[in-house]
Amino acid sequence: MKITLIHGQNHKGSTYHIARMTAEKISSNIEEFFFPRDLSEGCSGCLACLYKGREFCPRAEQVTPILNSMLSSDVIIIGSPTYVFEMTGHLKNFFEHIYTAWIAHRPEEAMFSKTAVVVSTAAGGGMKSVTKSMARQMFFLGIPKTYQLPFRVMAASWEDVKIKDKIIKKTDKIAREIVKKRKVTPGFKQKFIFSIMRSMQKKNDYAPLDKKYWEEKNWFRKDRPWKHIK
């Protein structure tokens, strides 16, 4: 199994160690990215991705390899420390760069068969709303199954974390489940959102590239992105 492992921070603290240990328990085939190291500048809001295509993004050179890695992986693991009750700005910046791959725009068929794991640690609080928010990103990219791993570590460094046993047990369990249950498909909620987006895309007259994409995929007819999952 291939894993894309994305860190919403450059440093190797608690969040890094938990995300990395989860990945290693699933497979040794890991492709890893760090932000801001691998995507340093923010979205400029030029909308080139929406109107011309993602390849016209001023930062396509950095974003494309990361998105391609996600598309060719079976499992996507993303970690972010909790910063002011949110994911890090650097991780959100990455999500902003791939928003046109949301179900609402031009979702990638390959996403509809993947499993994701989202990890966040906080000293005191906010980690659950962070993993929820990261899971929402996964959902709108078309990923059917996301495991959430929020941990209150009550520590500023991995060495000082006292709940390592709990973390090891939880990551063991999730890794076992992922290895065992390889095939995932979208549930009712994701299919429902897809059908709403389908009706909206039919009437779309502001982003012709999106509408053309849906037409070419035959999604206005009978075809659906999850039908090709083997």
Query: Which residues of the chain form contacts with ligand FMN (CB under 6 A)?
Result: 9, 13-16, 81-85, 121-126, 153, 156
Of 83 and 147, the one with the shorter C-beta distance to ligand FMN is 83
HEC-encoded secondary structure of 75-109: EEEEEEECECCECCHHHHHHHHHCHHHCCCCCCCH
- The answer to whether residues 116 and 139 touch, using CB atoms and an 8 Å cutoff, is no
* Cα–Cα dist 9/15, whole Å: 9
Of 148 and 201, the one with the shorter C-beta distance to ligand FMN is 148
Of 46 and 156, the one with the shorter C-beta distance to ligand FMN is 156
Q: Could you tell me which residues are beta bridge partners of residue 218? A: none
The Cα angle at residue 229 between residues 227 and 230, in degrees rounded to 5: 125
Of 20 and 105, the one with the shorter C-beta distance to ligand FMN is 20
What's the closest the beta carbon of residue 192 comes to ligand FMN, in angstroms?
Answer: 33
What's the closest the beta carbon of residue 22 comes to ligand FMN, in angstroms?
Answer: 14
Q: Which two tokens stand for residue 83?
A: 């910063």
- 131 alpha carbon, distance to own chain's centre: 11
What's the closest the beta carbon of residue 124 comes to ligand FMN, in angstroms?
Answer: 4
Of 12 and 202, the one with the shorter C-beta distance to ligand FMN is 12
What's the closest the beta carbon of residue 131 comes to ligand FMN, in angstroms?
Answer: 13
* Cα–Cα dist 22/173, whole Å: 10
What's the closest the beta carbon of residue 154 comes to ligand FMN, in angstroms?
Answer: 8
Of 24 and 108, the one with the shorter C-beta distance to ligand FMN is 24
* Cα–Cα dist 100/55, whole Å: 11
- The answer to whether residues 225 and 204 touch, using CB atoms and an 8 Å cutoff, is no
Q: Which two tokens stand for residue 214?
A: 């849906």
Q: Which residue is nearest to ligand FMN (CB)?
A: 13
